Structure 1
Amino acid sequence: MEFYKANKLDTEGVAQLFDLYRQFYEQPENLKEAHKFIEERLLIGDSIIFVAKKEEQYIGFVQLYPTYSSISMKKAWILNDLFVTENERQSGVAQQLLQLAIELCHQTDAKYLTLETASTNVKAKKLYKKNGFVCDATFEHYTLSFASTDNIVL
């Protein structure tokens, strides 16, 4: 197995994984838009993607977005996506990808690494807790969705 930071040559392989990841979260298949999204991330460089490959097959990825902590005046990272193909789960791939994310935080002197996952994603929550992540009970998380214009008051 090999793990490394993705580049534009990895667009197709990562896009296929990204589309499967979205389907895992009950989104419709859309490889064309997944490809466009990943290609844009890699070209613009506004995210960091690490990939896992086994015998030239893409089997997992993690995508991180930079942010900042105003209070500490330091960089922070959002672990936005972590996915491993179904037949490679429980093989340590997710742990290795998570470790690469953690190492990135150390290398960039980040204040923290944050993520969110579905409350029903028991295996992922177990992995995160095993690696020292703590579920935040101090702050409430609010979202304003712009999926439709119905909720916008002008």
Structure 2
Amino acid sequence: MPTIRPATIDDLAPLSQLLDGYRRFYGQPGDIDAARDFLIQRLGLGDAHLRVAESATGRLVGFVQLYPLLSTVGLAPRWLLNDLFVAPEARGQGVGRALMQAAAALAGDHGVPQLTLSTQVDNHAAQALYESLGWQRNDDFFGYRLALAPRAGEAAQ
């Protein structure tokens, strides 16, 4: 079973590789430098809760990232579990489950009454994991997105 712990700046190189793999999984082009810069921002600003899974040999094999939000309707904090990724060679070994359980425990320790997440419609393996951990599919709301034009000098996302 992996060790789940907070990410640190010392994890930057292997964590950048994992983040790049995660982005490629979702059809984005590989860009280690961009992944590294994004992680430096997250770790520096402290605007996310980032946990890593470390194997018995000390190798990082996955991560989970949560962003604090607020629910106006619920008048309470709500965290978005935005990212979960397990290296392909570590899948099926309980790493994703351990990361998800650690995320829920962390949120509970912070008094957060609810976590939310979204996943691709065809990501059946992730859906099975979430549902096995008690997550319930939200059929009450539709998700929308709006692409905004980049500001002068910025690249499109």
TM superposition score normalised by structure 1: 0.92
Q: Given the alignment, which residue of 116, 120, 131 partners 2:133?
A: 131
Structure 1 alignment gaps of length 5 or more: 150-154
Does 2:122 correspond to 1:120?
Answer: yes
1:75: Cα distance to partner? 1.0
Give the Cα–Cα distance (whole angstroms) in 1 for the partners of residues 148 and 95 of structure 2. Answer: 34
Q: Tell whether the 8 Å contact from 1:65 to 1:77 is kept in structure 2 after alignment.
A: yes
Deviation track 1:84-141 (CA, whole Å, cap 9, x = no partner) reads 0111101000000000110012111112100011111110000011111111111121
- Flag the 1:10–1:147 CA change in 2: closer, same or farther, 3 A: farther
Deviation track 1:16-73 (CA, whole Å, cap 9, x = no partner) reads 1000000011110000000000111001100011001111211000010000111222
SS in 2 for 1:132: coil
Instruction: List aligned pairs for 1:65-144, cutoff 5 A.
Output: 65-144=67-146
Does 2:47 correspond to 1:42?
Answer: no
What fraction of aligned residue pairs are identical, expressed as a percent?
36
Query: Which residue in 1 is equivalent to 2:53?
Result: 52
Does 2:16 correspond to 1:12?
Answer: no
SS in 2 for 1:144: coil
State the Cα RMSD in Å.
Answer: 1.3
TM superposition score normalised by structure 2: 0.90
Structure 2 alignment gaps of length 5 or more: 152-157
Query: Which residue in 1 is equivalent to 2:3?
Result: 2
